[in-house]
Amino acid sequence: MKIASAICVLIGLSLGFNGAAFSQDESKVMLSPDQVKEKLSRVRPDLSVKDVTTSTLPGFYEVNLVEGTVLFVNEDATYFVVGDLYRIEENQFVNVTEEQRNVNRRELLAAVELSDMLVFSPPAGMKKTAVTVFTDIDCGFCRKLHKEVPELNRLGIEVRYLAYPRAGVNSKSYDKYVSAWCSDNPQLALTKAKLGQVLEEKTCENPVAAQYALGNLMGVSGTPAIVFDDGTLLPGYLPAVKLAARLGIN
């Protein structure tokens, strides 16, 4: 992310708050996290607040919204900004907010059963690591990545697919993924679908909609979206050799 795009801006510019919502005339009383949440919800009842925590930025709370946005609210909740917080180190800027997103993504992925993923594994005894990939059947770069799954497996990388039909639930891409999931051999069906072959339409109880919602919660905005074990989200395609290098595998 470019640093310029990470500079915090007034939430009124991005979420439609009334600029006068928090008056400068309010008494400067330090509020508790619950009081901050209540005040935000009073102004915008539709604002879905996940939690309010003390920020590493002195004098501020971090308000994490369910959809992933982070607000930095001062302790008496008269002002706030939205954006990523960076720590200035000797030779670099470190995105502190993204570090917390990595933690959140790890926790969310840990709650997903492996049996709910379409997994392509290396031969027995060769697995070195795994990546989780949010994928769309009709995405060109998703198809390009899938063609490299055998090479990733050869390098010891297990590929775990989660569904992310970019056109949304009940789209044609969604239906294709459901048909693949509900087939007798989901891995083979997914491969055929990514090659452009037409699958027999099937329906069954499936996790596709839930995985799409999970992707949105984790900040996925396009496909493929590759999530590493540490929660780092890599948007876009990487050739197998470069992806292996990112994972520390030669």
Kindly give the confidence (pLDDT) of every residue in the chain, 250 residues in length, as a single tens digit, with 9 standing for 90 and above.
443 343 333 333 334 444 444 444 445 788 999 999 999 999 999 999 989 999 989 999 999 888 888 999 999 999 999 989 999 999 999 999 999 999 999 999 999 999 999 999 999 999 999 999 999 999 999 999 999 999 999 999 999 999 999 999 989 999 999 999 999 999 999 999 999 999 999 999 999 999 999 999 999 999 999 999 999 999 999 999 999 999 999 7
- Residue 230 lies inside a defined structural domain of this protein: yes
User: Sheet harboring 49-54: ordered strands across?
Assistant: 9-10, 80-82, 70-74, 60-65, 49-54
CATH of the domain at 36: 3.10.450
- Residue 68 lies inside a defined structural domain of this protein: yes
Q: Are residues 51 and 137 in the same domain?
A: no
CATH of the domain at 189: 3.40.30.10
| Other CB atoms within 10 A of residue 26 CB | 11
Q: What is the predicted pLDDT for the residue at 34?
A: 94
Q: What is the predicted pLDDT for the residue at 250?
A: 77
Q: Are residues 70 and 116 in the same domain?
A: no
Q: Are residues 138 and 227 in the same domain?
A: yes
Q: What is the predicted pLDDT for the residue at 42?
A: 94
Q: Are residues 54 and 115 in the same domain?
A: no
Both tokens assigned to 63: 């308000």
- Residue 171 lies inside a defined structural domain of this protein: yes
- In order, the DSSP letters of 185-220 are SHHHHHHHHHTTPPPPP---S-SHHHHHHHHHHTT-
Q: Which domain covers residue 43, as residue numbers?
A: 3-84
Q: Are residues 146 and 36 in the same domain?
A: no
Q: Are residues 41 and 115 in the same domain?
A: no
Pairing label, strands 70-74, 80-82: antiparallel
- Residue 28 lies inside a defined structural domain of this protein: yes
* Nearest Cα residue to 57 out of 71, 39, 79, 72: 72
- Residue 139 lies inside a defined structural domain of this protein: yes
Q: Are residues 70 and 114 in the same domain?
A: no
Both tokens assigned to 191: 């491969």
Q: Are residues 123 and 228 in the same domain?
A: yes
Q: What is the predicted pLDDT for the residue at 27?
A: 54
Taking the C-alpha atoms of residue 212 and residue 208, their distance in angstroms, rounded to an integer, is 6
Q: What is the predicted pLDDT for the residue at 68?
A: 81
- Residue 98 lies inside a defined structural domain of this protein: no
Q: Are residues 235 and 129 in the same domain?
A: yes
Q: What domain count does the chain have?
A: 2
At 195, which amino acid appears?
A: L
